[in-house]
Structure 1
Amino acid sequence: MTDVTVDRDVVFHRPPERESPLELDVYRPDDGGTDRPAVVVYHGGGWIEGEKGQLEALERGLAERGYVCFDANYRLSGEATFPTPVEDGAAAVRFAKEHADEYGIDPDRVATTGHSAGGHLAALVAAADGDFDPEDATVSSKVAASAPISGAYDMRDRTPEAANDLERQFLGGGPDEVPERYERVSPAAHVDSATPPTLVLHGDDDDLLPADGAREYAQALAEAGRPVELGILPGGGHGIVVEPEDWQDRGIETVADFLDRRL
């Protein structure tokens, strides 16, 4: 098994309006390889809490298989509302590409993944196809594949009564106040002929975000003619690849197998 080196607290983004920079951790195979595939990873926490390190089991598992993983923080909704956290997620992809030589990666083989709120970010960055990059960006946050886990994919049909407090805080209001944000934040609204190959991974016993949302997103990708794989893990709850249950290893293996074939 390949040893893994972890570079912690690497600065990847310095927002001008923020006192401290954003940081990420880099998990990389310790064998001096080059032109490796890379994965940018986003943690969960309802966009309001959490930090890098939550998906260490996934990142180590991928790094042992030859991937370089960039585990990125992003500004939470208590600090900044949409689209800022997504722009931070796009910045992490650009950082990986800009430092391809330093970390021995192929900038054309970068994917996104993440869990829960991070799964939403992974899907949105991928489907948006660079839409959250600044105009002066020298590289694009477009990715070659995406594997969102236990995510939310379509908020366009939210009513004021149905929108929960986490969504309202993340988006800066309800669907009656900022309807355009509920549209733009939905990965399903961005699906088109450029959306990269996607694995939609979910547990069928998820009581926080029911698996029907994953099925509907996979259907939207298929209807757009995009390569998509739907992975529904029997017995899996919301904490797939986070909590050490029987299906955690299966979840990690499913992501790794998809990336092996798509990157």
Structure 2
Amino acid sequence: MADVTVHRDVVFHRPPDRESPLELDVYEPADGGADRPAVVAYHGGAWIEGEKGQLEALERALAERGYVCFDANYRLSGEATFPTPVEDAAAAVRYAEEHAEEYGIDPDRVATTGHSAGAHLAALVAAAGGGFDPADAAVSSTVAAAAPISGVYDLRDRTSETANDIERQFLGGGPDEVPERYERVSPAAHVDESTPPTLVLHGDDDDLLPADGAREYARTLAAAGRRVELGILPGGGHGIVVDPEDWQARGIETVADFLDRRL
């Protein structure tokens, strides 16, 4: 098992309208290397709470296998509404690609992953294929694979009666007020011939975000002719890969196996 070096609080994005910059942590094999695969990860917390470090077990496990992992913060919905958090997530991918030589990674072998709200960001950045980058970006946030975990992938069916307060805060209003945001925020709406290989991982006993949403997203990817693997963990709750008591080891191994084959 390889030793892991962690670089904490690395500045990756300086939003012009924000006093403090956004930071990420980098997990990499201690013995260095070149042309290594990389993974950009996003924490969960309903877009309103949480911070980097939530997925440390997953990131350390991947770094032990030779990956360089970038664990990124993003602006939460109490500070900024959509699309700002997604733009932050895309900026983390661009940072990894722009610093490929510094961290010894192959910029063509970068994937996204995340849990819950972070899974949504990972799937959306991947499916959008650079659609949340600024016009003057030096590189694109397109990625080679995605492994969202316990996420939500389609909000287009929300109505003024069914949209919850968390979604309304994240999107800056209800579907009757900002319908275009409910379309654009949905990874399923962006799936096309360029969407990269995707692992959709979910527990079938998730009582917060039912696994039916993961199954439907996998069907959407398959219908578009994209490579997709649906991983449904029997008895797994919402906390797979986060909660050591909830399929964490199996979830981490499933993600690692997928990335080993796709990057």
Bucket of the pairwise TM-score, normalised by the shorter protein: over 0.9
Q: Secondary structure at the match of 1:232?
A: strand
2:148 counterpart residue number: 148
1:67 counterpart residue number: 67
Deviation at 1:246, TM superposition (A): 5.1
1:94 counterpart residue number: 94
- Output the CA distance in 2 between the equivalents of 1:222 and 1:245: 32
Unaligned runs of 5+ in 1: none
Taking structure 1 as the reference length, the TM-score comes to: 1.00
Taking structure 2 as the reference length, the TM-score comes to: 1.00
- Output the CA distance in 2 between the equivalents of 1:46 and 1:112: 18
Q: Secondary structure at the match of 1:32?
A: coil
C-alpha distance after superposition, 1:181-217 (max 9, x if no partner): 0000000000000000000000000000000000000
Q: Secondary structure at the match of 2:124?
A: helix
Please tell me whether the aligned partners of residues 201 and 231 of structure 2 are also in contact (alpha carbons under 8 angstroms): yes
Percent sequence identity over matched residues?
87
1:53 counterpart residue number: 53
Query: Counterparts in 2 of 1:166-177, with a 5 A limit?
Result: 166-177=166-177
Q: Secondary structure at the match of 1:120?
A: helix
Unaligned runs of 5+ in 2: none
The yes-or-no answer on 1:225 pairing with 2:225 is yes
The yes-or-no answer on 1:4 pairing with 2:4 is yes
> How many corresponding residue pairs?
263
Query: Counterparts in 2 of 1:160-171, with a 5 A limit?
Result: 160-171=160-171
1:13 counterpart residue number: 13
User: Once superposed, what is the RMSD of the aligned Cα atoms?
Assistant: 0.5
- Output the CA distance in 2 between the equivalents of 1:256 and 1:26: 17
Q: Which runs of 4+ in 1 moved over 6 A?
A: none
- Output the CA distance in 2 between the equivalents of 1:95 and 1:33: 19
Q: Secondary structure at the match of 1:85?
A: helix
C-alpha distance after superposition, 1:91-143 (max 9, x if no partner): 00000000000000000000000000000000000000000000000100000
- Output the CA distance in 2 between the equivalents of 1:166 and 1:76: 11
The yes-or-no answer on 1:42 pairing with 2:60 is no
Deviation at 1:46, TM superposition (A): 0.2
1:26 counterpart residue number: 26
C-alpha distance after superposition, 1:152-189 (max 9, x if no partner): 00000101111011100000000000000000000000
The amino acid across from 1:111 in the alignment is: A
Q: Secondary structure at the match of 1:38?
A: strand
Please tell me whether the aligned partners of residues 239 and 246 of structure 2 are also in contact (alpha carbons under 8 angstroms): no
- Output the CA distance in 1 between the equivalents of 2:261 and 2:123: 18
Please tell me whether the aligned partners of residues 240 and 246 of structure 2 are also in contact (alpha carbons under 8 angstroms): no
Q: Secondary structure at the match of 1:229?
A: strand
- Output the CA distance in 1 between the equivalents of 2:125 and 2:77: 17
Q: Secondary structure at the match of 1:8?
A: strand
